[in-house]
Amino acid sequence: MTTIQMINSNAGEAMHLFEVMKKYGATCSLEFNKGNGNDPFIGITGVNVDVEYLEGDPPVEGDGDTLIVKLGETDFAFGLRDHSFSKFISSSQITVAVMANDTDYTAWFNSSIITPEGIEEASNYDATVGDNENSNPAFTLEEQELICFLRSLDFDTVLDTVSGIHREADQSKNKAAMHLRVGRTQTANAFDKRAVNLEQLALLIGQANKDYNAHVLQVD
């Protein structure tokens, strides 16, 4: 069984990915999983997909917005306040995961085969297109300095850093398993999410460093 590393995303990019599926004629399948289980309690296979974004009107701007994914004749609504999003884009398929923050389910959306042009468009999401003044700004000076610093580190320093982050991720996985065994599903999900974030941080730090890329990431 192949394990994929999901990447943190957001509702805007998730909407973009569903629109790419629709544009390039890909169907979409869905699995709803509870907790850490692998057996879906809801499954839909190979239907047409569409997506819609509804703006709410809560006291806090954006807090009541909802992403609606339409699979065939069935609509699934995900409130942005209550859900987290992640993605994985391979050379031929798109996977979008939507995790409930306060409950124990994850919705996995998997596309059928998509053309290379579609994959390229999916990978080139620009979060600044159509954004307003409340959106994330361009890189700050501090962020640019961090990028340059990561590029300048030697192999051993990056290796120690990445190894340390992986150890913390493993500890979070162990804590998630411990809490799950005693029925604390919400806490277990939080530690699972922390582990995923740490592993993604370790991967990005490694990818940002030329020496680490040459010694580790590009080794067959």
CA distance 116 to 113: 9
- Judged against a pLDDT cut of 50, whether residue 137 lies above it is answered with no
The answer to whether the CB of 22 falls within 8 A of the CB of 48 is yes
Query: Which of 4-8, 16-20, 32-36 has the least mean pLDDT?
Result: 32-36
3-state helix, strand, coil in the chain (%, to 5): 40, 25, 35
Helix, coil or strand: residue 212: helix
In sequence order, the β-bridge partners of residue 84 are: 99
Q: Which residue has the higher pLDDT, 184 or 89?
A: 89
23's tokens = 């544009």
The answer regarding whether domain 7-123 maps to CATH 2.60.120 reads no
CA distance 29 to 74: 12
Query: Which of 71-80, 81-90, 178-187, 207-216 has the least mean pLDDT?
Result: 207-216
Torsion angles phi and psi, residue 32, rounded to 5 = -100, 120
pLDDT the model gives residue 29? 95
- Judged against a pLDDT cut of 50, whether residue 133 lies above it is answered with no
> DSSP for 111-122?
E----HHHHHHH
Q: What is the dihedral of CA 172, 1, 19, 26, to 10 degrees?
A: -170
pLDDT the model gives residue 3? 62
Torsion angles phi and psi, residue 108, rounded to 5 = -105, 120
CA distance 112 to 127: 25
Query: Which of 19-33, 51-65, 128-142, 178-192 has the least mean pLDDT?
Result: 128-142
CA distance 208 to 73: 43
pLDDT digits (tens, 9 = 90+) for 59-116: 444 457 899 999 998 999 999 988 999 999 999 999 999 998 877 789 999 999 999 9
Average pLDDT, the chain: 83
pTM: 0.56
